[in-house]
Structure 1
Amino acid sequence: MIPLSWYMALAAVLFCIGVYGFLSRRNMIMMLLSLELMLNGVNLNLVAMSRAMERVDGHIFTLFIITVAAAEAAIGLGLAICLFRARRTVAIDALNQLKG
């Protein structure tokens, strides 16, 4: 059986890669993918801890997070499509032109 520390280390690596991608990219779609990667790191951590403590709470909360993440991805991609149709780019820097 794989030790709990390996799951926690993998979850931390996933979360850190997501944070780096979110902070370093200016593309809206890449930022959404990085955010999803961060959420998957959190989900892995919750499931690993729930499994180690032999409780179901982490699994249930993970299902809730996956549902919210799916809705967030759908709304984010919809906004990205609208931004692309209006500005022909999905770069976040193009949003500065929307200020009054």
Structure 2
Amino acid sequence: MVLATMLKSGVSLEFYVILATILFTIGVLGVLIRKNAIIILMCVELMLNAVNLLMVAFSTYHGTGDAQVFVFFIMVVAAAEATVGLSILVLLYRNRKTVDVGMFNKLKG
């Protein structure tokens, strides 16, 4: 609703494309650079939200609601991913007392 009002009030589609690109780039850089697993999960969520923002912006711009339903399913999958990822991190912290992703290869056999 707010996005539709902003698109009609003069905020252009290019603004949302640039904003989503910046958010996605920050997420990619966070995944590639950081070693803390919690930060990596947050960056993955940031990338998914950037894609969601772009899909809703294009859906509103074209006047259809199809992408907004798809965004809902992406949010459900992202919540499940966060739940599974955080549970794995809790188990890693209990065993190794760290959340550094370099410790994952020590969990073999």
TM bucket, shorter chain: over 0.9
Give TM-score scaled by structure 1 length. 0.96
Unmatched tracts of structure 2, length 5 or more: 1-9
1:51 paired to 2:60: yes
Q: Give the aligned partner of residue 95 of structure 2.
A: 86
Q: Percent identity?
A: 47
Q: Give the aligned partner of residue 20 of structure 2.
A: 11
Instruction: Give the distance between the partners of 1:4 and 1:58, measured in 2 at CA.
Output: 16
- How many residue pairs end up in the alignment? 100
Deviations 1:41-86 (A, max 9, x none): 0000000000011011111111110111001001110110000001
Deviations 1:10-51 (A, max 9, x none): 001000000000110111100000000000000000000000
**CA RMSD, 1 decimal:** 0.8
Q: Deviation above 4 Å: which 4+ runs of structure 1?
A: none
Q: Give the aligned partner of residue 73 of structure 2.
A: 64
